[in-house]
């Protein structure tokens, strides 16, 4: 039995081929869960994550599913249940970043941001909840930029992540009587290939933090694993920020 007691549980992590999603998938597997991950174009990294989990003695599968396609999202839930016989944990990690000042933000970019960052978690959560029982967990990856918009050009991204909080609180109310929790984790600046700690905008981000260093994807994964485990059973409808004090 793992320390967090996820043995016998099954998880689906959207966008689990790299970055924070990959770290979450590996951590949930290390804590004993069977894990499915979705990817869009990153087939090789996705299968590398699966291979690492399997090599460590876990069970994992990779599923191609575009978060812009509701049918594909629903299919990934079905495929996870078919592979593992159950679904206990959904982590909505897939997301996109579109940035431009509001007078330059295209409607297409705004709509795509809402489609991937907000509509997809709704679709996945609805589909997953149909298979969950007591102890089910829905955990979405938001952003500290949902709580505090510290720069320009964030009208689409911050809106999508702030709306994710509202969705999470509503899910907590709708599903609480069934023993299913719903929470959102807000990462701050995290060292990934999309936002590297040595990137051109990194120093600007560090200046905002109480502890001026980028987080690691494993830091975010640790919070997700805690929420997914038995110790997180009384936490629901919450937004938990991990940002080195940037929003302090």
Q: How many domains does the chain have?
A: 1
Answer whether residue 56 is part of any domain. Answer: yes
Q: What phi, psi does 133 have (nearest 5°)? A: -120, -160
pLDDT of residue 3: 52
Domain encompassing residue 56: 10-242
Verify whether residue 39 is a known catalytic residue: no
10-34 pLDDT, tens digit per residue, is 999 999 999 999 999 999 999 999 9
The rounded percent of the chain whose pLDDT value lies above 70 is 98
134-192 pLDDT, tens digit per residue, is 999 999 999 999 999 999 999 999 999 999 999 999 999 999 999 999 999 999 999 89
Answer whether residue 3 is part of any domain. Answer: no
Q: In whole angstroms, what is the distance from residue 166 CA to residue 140 CA?
A: 12
Measure the N-to-C terminal CA separation of the chain; round to a whole number of Å: 37
| pTM, rounded to two decimals | 0.96
Q: What dihedral do alpha carbons 100, 190, 88, 74 form, nearest 10°?
A: 30
Q: How confident is the model at residue 215 (pLDDT cuts 50, 70, 90)?
A: confident
The rounded percent of the chain whose pLDDT value lies above 90 is 94
CATH number of the domain encompassing residue 162 = 3.40.50.720
Candidate list 110, 122, 157, 214, residue with the active-site label: 157
Mean pLDDT of all residues belonging to the chain: 96
Answer whether residue 2 is part of any domain. Answer: no
Encoded tokens for 160: 């999508």
Answer whether residue 1 is part of any domain. Answer: no
Which residue in 248, 191, 242, 178 sits closest to 217, CA to CA?
Answer: 191
Answer whether residue 4 is part of any domain. Answer: no
Q: In whole angstroms, what is the distance from residue 192 CA to residue 76 CA?
A: 25
Answer whether residue 188 is part of any domain. Answer: yes
Answer whether residue 169 is part of any domain. Answer: yes
Phi and psi based region of residue 180 (left: phi greater than 0; alpha: psi -120 to 50; beta: remaining): beta
Q: How confident is the model at residue 230 (pLDDT cuts 50, 70, 90)?
A: very high
pLDDT of residue 236: 98
Answer whether residue 65 is part of any domain. Answer: yes
Check residue 100 and report its DSSP letter: -
Given a contact cutoff of 8 angstroms between Cβ atoms, the answer to whether 73 and 120 are in contact is yes
pLDDT of residue 81: 98
80-134 pLDDT, tens digit per residue, is 999 999 999 999 999 999 999 999 999 999 999 999 999 999 999 999 999 999 9
């Amino acid at each position: 039995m793992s320390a967090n007691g996820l043995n016998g549980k099954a998880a689906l992590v959207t966008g689990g081929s790299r970055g924070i999603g990959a770290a979450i998938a590996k951590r949930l597997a290390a804590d004993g869960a069977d894990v499915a991950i979705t990817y869009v174009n990153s087939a090789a990294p996705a299968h590398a994550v699966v291979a690492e989990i399997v090599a460590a003695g876990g069970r994992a599968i990779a599923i191609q599913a575009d978060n812009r396609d509701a049918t594909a999202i629903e299919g990934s839930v079905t495929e996870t249940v078919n592979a593992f016989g159950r679904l206990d944990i959904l982590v909505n990690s897939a997301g996109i970043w579109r940035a431009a000042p509001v007078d330059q933000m295209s409607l297409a970019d705004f709509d795509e941001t809402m489609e991937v960052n907000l509509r997809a978690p709704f679709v996945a959560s609805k589909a997953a909840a149909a298979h969950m029982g007591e102890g089910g967990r829905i955990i979405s990856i938001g952003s500290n930029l949902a709580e505090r918009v510290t720069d320009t050009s964030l009208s689409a991204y911050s809106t999508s992540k702030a709306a994710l909080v509202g969705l999470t609180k509503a899910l907590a109310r709708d599903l609480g009587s069934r023993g299913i929790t719903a929470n959102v984790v807000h990462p701050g600046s995290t060292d990934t290939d999309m936002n590297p700690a040595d990137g051109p905008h990194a120093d600007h981000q560090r200046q905002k933090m109480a502890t001026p260093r980028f987080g690691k994807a494993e830091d975010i994964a640790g919070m997700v694993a805690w929420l997914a485990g038995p110790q997180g059973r009384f936490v629901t409808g919450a937004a938990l920020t991990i940002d080195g004090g940037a929003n302090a």
